Chains A and B, each alone.
Chain A
Amino acid sequence: MIEQLQLLGNQTRGSFAKLGRGTRFLLQTLSGIGSVIPRPRLLLNQLYSVGVLSFLIITISGLFVGMVLSLQGYYTLSDFGAEASLGLMVATSLVRELGPVVSALLFAGRAGSALTAEIGLMKATEQLSGMEMMAVDPIQRIIAPRFLAGLIAMPLLAGLFSAIGILGGQLVGSGLLGVDDGAYWAQMQAKIDFQDDIVNGIIKSITFGFVTTWIALFEGYDATPTAEGVSRATTRTVVNSAFSVLGLDFILTALMFGDD
């Protein structure tokens, strides 16, 4: 009994210590962002590996999510003779929820895990330590550009996801199920609110980008510098990112759409 309590205490203390290290890491990273601005090349390279390389998975997933949404939505809406609202339904679900959330989950799996593994291996092969000895701060040189790239790429990818999803929905809706093309777009145009739907979706995706990139970079930086340590850190990145994204999504949704 005592042993279990001790174990619980140790684990609690361990997770608080980690939270503290993570916060300090975040503050250091944020203060290092200033040094990226005079060197856009570093940022561009990272935007490529974090953003452009996630392009394919985001596009294909967006397309299929939109198509399935359209299909399921049609069956429900047509019961009430409301299939003309299909476009509105697909667009609202994508822009408000599925775009930011699913693309953040995919982003964590595709780009976040890669970031953790890369940083963890750089630590294991003494590259970070070597940089410090060359009087180069790895937080400024390695971490900050990646963080900024994640922050920029995530909302763009979420936007892309939603846009492709809406196209996929239209493809199935009017191409396959015979929903009127004009109604699909007109209802969407009339009812999607810029502030309520689009801006809130963007705020969500920026938040998710911030959190997933932070988790990915910190897990890599904090990884035990062995093969097993890096593999565990990579797993933790994906799991913790998923939890954080889903939890934050609930909180943000409650805050944003609570009163109407």
Chain B
Amino acid sequence: MDYFLPRMDTFVSNQNSLVSVRNLSFSRGPKVIFDNVSLDFERGKITAIMGPSGTGKTTLLKLIGGQLPPAQGTIVVDGENVHQLPRKQLFQLRKRIGMLFQSGALLTDMNVYDNVAFPLREHTRLPETMIRSLVLMKLQAVGLRGVKDFMPNELSGGMARRVALARAIALDPMMILYDEPFTGQDPISMGVLVHLIKSLNSALGLTSIIVSHDVHETSAIADYIYVLADGKIIGQGTPEAIRQSSSAWIQQFMNGTADGPVHFHYPAKDYFDDLLLSGKRY
């Protein structure tokens, strides 16, 4: 029966997608991270990639940004095949992509102001007065104009991430990639970030890709969700559709239950036999 079904790549060729990933395969050593995966990210929308830790969500962002080469498949960003671009054009493309790293990745040897000014100073020849106005505007947008003279190590985790967000939008990109933006945030910072991602996306006309396993926050702002596990897409749709999914796996993931298709116990040999073995003292 499978024979008559059209392949993924033929029927989901969405005209409006800014990023399209086709038949992507990627392995790290013997571990298969992606196995023939195809995804589309629509312009102007917030698309989320969800899945448990270790499913290669961050790897996907690195593949989209051209930091890793895929084993197979193509990734097209705004009409350009990322992995066939010469280095110079790849860098030109990256100027139009902002990325928010999980750690923030602020440069620790300069203060907040200089961090946000960094991409402007590297890529433009704007006079310092204009850079100052731009930096203050970006910091104002994330609500942190007041910390412009702080060093990164004086910021809380949530503030560092917001500063990194200000830096990511410094060059007015067309798209922002968020790597686990909500992990390890207190409820207030989390709320602030959820609000910021949503409002920046609509105010600046961005396209956002969020990689996350924070189910509630992500599904509150995403327009479309892909759920990845074991190198495959196991579910996709609007947040509502994902919540209504009949798949037991997705239900377990969305509700965070301890046992289900993903077992509580990591595979091990028989418990009783294991207990009878004599231990080894180091």
Contact = CB atoms under 8 A, between A and B. Distances in A.
Q: Which of A122, A134, A137 has the most CB of B within 10 A?
A: A134
A132 interface: yes
Interface stretch (A123-131, A183-191, A234-242): A123-131
A110 interface: no
B12 to A, nearest CB: 27
Contacts of B101: 126, 129-130, 133
Interface stretch (B16-24, B31-39, B91-99, B217-225): B91-99
Q: Is the interface of A mostly helix, strand, loop or mixed?
A: helix
B92 A126 contact: no
Q: Which of B97, B102, B105, B167 has the most CB of A within 10 A?
A: B105
Nearest to B95: A135
Interface in A100-129: 122, 125-127, 129
Given A133-B65, A133-B67, A134-B118, A126 B94 contact: no
Interface of A: 122, 125-127, 129-137, 141
Q: Is the interface of B mostly helix, strand, loop or mixed?
A: mixed
Nearest to A126: B105
A135 B118 contact: no
Interface string B63-83: 001010000000000000000
B105 A132 contact: no
Contact of B103 (A126, A133, A134, A135): A126
Given A135-B91, A135-B92, A135-B95, A129 B119 contact: no
Interface of B: 65, 67, 91-92, 94-95, 97, 99, 101-103, 105-108, 118-119, 122-123, 167
Contacts of B118: 134, 136
A133 B122 contact: no
A134 B122 CA distance: 9
18 contacts: A125-B105, A125-B108, A127-B105, A130-B99, A130-B101, A131-B107, A133-B67, A133-B99, A134-B94, A134-B95, A134-B118, A134-B167, A135-B91, A135-B122, A135-B123, A136-B118, A136-B119, A136-B123
9 nearest A-B residue pairs (beta carbon):
A130-B105, A135-B94, A126-B105, A135-B91, A133-B99, A135-B95, A126-B101, A134-B119, A136-B122
B110 to A, nearest CB: 11
Nearest to B91: A135
A131 B115 CA distance: 11
Nearest to B96: A135
A197 B95 CA distance: 52
Contacts of A132: 65, 67, 94
Nearest to B107: A127
Contacts of B122: 134-136, 141
Contacts of A137: 91
A245 B65 CA distance: 40
Contacts of A134: 94-95, 99, 118-119, 122, 167
